Structure 1
Amino acid sequence: MTTQTSTPIALTIAGSDSGGGAGIQADLKTFSALGVFGTSVIAALTAQNTREVRAIHDVPADFIADQLNTVLDDIRIDAIKIGMLSRPETITTIASILRERELGNIVLDPVMVAKSGDKLLADESVDALRRELLPLATLITPNLPEAAVLLDSDEATDAEQMRVQAQQLLDLGPKAVLVKGGHLAESSSAESADLLFSAEKAQWLPAKRIATANTHGTGCTLSSAIAAGLARGLNVTDAVTEAKAYITAAIEAADRLQVGSGHGPTHHFHAWW
């Protein structure tokens, strides 16, 4: 762990969730809850609440570049979280700037599959993500359906298949992979385990399942919590371990909130109110 002598700062590059539970809003709340100053680049606007996504407006790639360069020209960024990027030109633009600036501590949450199972990204966007951003990532955080899309394969159905797919994902260029196992035996197990995989080691990280419908934004929150840990100087293993504890507590406290009539958010500020 490095010594943090100045304000830790993280950047989120993602879509805006008007309902406040996921995307940019969840990321900034998570950064704040974990003692990190948050900055943002908005890649898309959504009209959504706890029940539906009614409309999506993609931000033009040139304006995304303007946002990103303007932040980087003035503010030191210690870690970056990247969420859903729906267009190939957006992915290419962001990757080009990240390479040019030689930025590290990049956590990529490859949001590509809706809860319904429908693909959210066209094939050309998946190809661009695989080609442009995976090799720049310090860590990628796919769930099982997203891992399958990235690998153009069937979804893993057991722990050994998760391990095989983690190695295949690592071969695509990221320094480490966190394969989230929440979809594995979802209805029959009291626990779910994630697999943290790198060239040096494979580590299973179990967590208990929590019975609640209020899980909107959990993937965004976990990946931004990991970025917050990296921004504060933690190594990948410690950042993931801390983030897992944070998201588990946030889900446990989710039912204390009364937000909307659908799938509500987790409680990002459970330690305070």
Structure 2
Amino acid sequence: MANGGVLISQDLSCAGQVSSSVALPILGASGMRPTLLPTAILSTHTGFKDNTYLDLSGEMPKIVEHWRKNKINFDALYLGYLGKNALDFWLQNIDQLKRDEQVVLIDPAMADHGKMYRGLDEEYVAKMQKLISKATILTPNITEAAFLLDKDLTEVTLEKAQEFANELTEEFAISNVIITGISISKEKIGEVGITENKNWSLIQEKLPGSFFGTGDMFASAFLAAVMHGNNLEKSCSIAADFIRLAIMNTDQDPLFGPNYAAGLPWLLQELEK
């Protein structure tokens, strides 16, 4: 067997530091030997108007078949933004790529700020509900958690997020759920988690500004920390501090995302501890 490291499956935005554009360098620098199964190529992420979109779902089965012939396997699967056709692919093929004792991180990137992303709908949510049952770790934001549970998001609090995390664990039989980016106030942001029936929460200073790609950066740094042997609460703390450092050192247009490169030296030091 040839070890392909961590398999990342999400879109590639040609401009803007989001999705695969941040997952590849963060996981690569962390020694995870990332392999990419791209779902689509976009001219930019959807925060820009009128972006182009090339669906690659038709190529995905051919790529996976080539890997199968070459007996390439993976230490972890990391699924981010998929899109409708790629979601169908993963529903049909995830059992073929999963192995025992493998980390399967699903970041169900489909909504934020109470709304679905452009082009996604209730049918997408229903299919994502089926896919997440395959996850060993699920990392939705609070809006995505509400959609996955078919609930209205009436309040954004740590308590509500913890309630959602517990319900996701029970309803979908996922042992590890982390809800990220919970805007507690103008000054505070937090995460909650449930790991092996233990509830926990973290709170950080909320920095000004709104940046695209922070969720992708968080999931990538979090997975790197997990793969280096940290427990989920510690991994979450490392990822949150990494995002904070990146934002503090950002002087570019927020549409292009935080300056993740500024936080990489610190992240690599943390992973070596």
Q: TM-score range by the shorter chain?
A: 0.7 to 0.9
SS of equivalent to 1:152: coil
Q: Distance in 1 between matches of 2:27 and 2:238?
A: 13
Q: 1:19 aligns with which of 15, 18, 36?
A: 15
Compared with structure 1, are the counterparts of its residues 151 and 271 closer, same or farther at alpha carbon in structure 2 (3 Å cutoff)? closer
Q: Quick one: which amino acid aligns to residue 46 of structure 1?
A: L
Q: Distance in 2 between matches of 1:271 and 1:160?
A: 30
Alignment-derived partner of residue 154 in structure 1: 152
Matched-pair contact (CA < 8 Å) for 2:195–2:232: no
Alignment-derived partner of residue 225 in structure 1: 221
1:148-185 deviation line (CA, Å, top 9, x unaligned): 11111011432222111111111212221111243444
Matched-pair contact (CA < 8 Å) for 1:192–1:208: yes
Alignment-derived partner of residue 39 in structure 2: 43
The share of aligned pairs that are identical, in percent, is 21
Deviation (angstroms), 1:78:
2.1
Alignment-derived partner of residue 28 in structure 1: 24
Q: Quick one: which amino acid aligns to residue 216 of structure 1?
A: F
Q: Which moved more, 1:142-151 or 1:66-75?
A: 66-75
Q: Normalized against structure 2, the TM-score is what?
A: 0.82
Alignment-derived partner of residue 271 in structure 2: none
Q: Distance in 1 between matches of 2:232 and 2:165?
A: 16
Matched, 1:179 2:171: no
Alignment-derived partner of residue 169 in structure 2: 170
Matched, 1:206 2:175: no
SS of equivalent to 2:37: strand
Q: Quick one: which amino acid aligns to residue 145 of structure 1?
A: T
Number of aligned positions between the proteins: 256
Alignment-derived partner of residue 266 in structure 1: 258
Matched-pair contact (CA < 8 Å) for 2:10–2:38: yes
SS of equivalent to 2:124: helix
Compared with structure 1, are the counterparts of its residues 33 and 207 closer, same or farther at alpha carbon in structure 2 (3 Å cutoff)? farther
Matched-pair contact (CA < 8 Å) for 1:108–1:223: no
Q: Distance in 2 between matches of 1:191 and 1:113?
A: 21
1:108-150 deviation line (CA, Å, top 9, x unaligned): 111111568344422222212211x212212111111111111
Q: Which moved more, 1:72-81 or 1:154-163?
A: 72-81
Q: Distance in 2 between matches of 1:110 and 1:24?
A: 15
Matched-pair contact (CA < 8 Å) for 2:8–2:36: yes
> Higher relative CO (CA 8 A, sep ≥ 6), structure 1 or 2?
1
Pairing 1:1-273 to 2, within 5 Å after superposition:
9-48=5-44, 51-52=48-49, 54-61=51-58, 63-71=59-67, 73-87=70-84, 88-99=87-98, 101-102=99-100, 104-113=102-111, 117-120=115-118, 121-131=120-130, 133-155=131-153, 156-171=155-170, 172-185=172-185, 188=186, 190-213=187-210, 215-255=211-251, 258=252, 261=253, 263-271=255-263
Matched-pair contact (CA < 8 Å) for 1:180–1:195: yes
Q: Distance in 2 between matches of 1:219 and 1:271?
A: 15
Q: Normalized against structure 1, the TM-score is what?
A: 0.82
Alignment-derived partner of residue 3 in structure 1: none
Deviation (angstroms), 1:212:
3.1
SS of equivalent to 1:85: coil
Matched-pair contact (CA < 8 Å) for 2:13–2:19: yes
- Contiguous gaps of at least 5 residues in structure 1: 1-6
Q: Distance in 1 between matches of 2:122 and 2:114?
A: 18
Matched-pair contact (CA < 8 Å) for 1:10–1:227: no
- Contiguous gaps of at least 5 residues in structure 2: 266-273
SS of equivalent to 1:254: coil
Deviation (angstroms), 1:53:
5.4
Deviation (angstroms), 1:211:
1.5
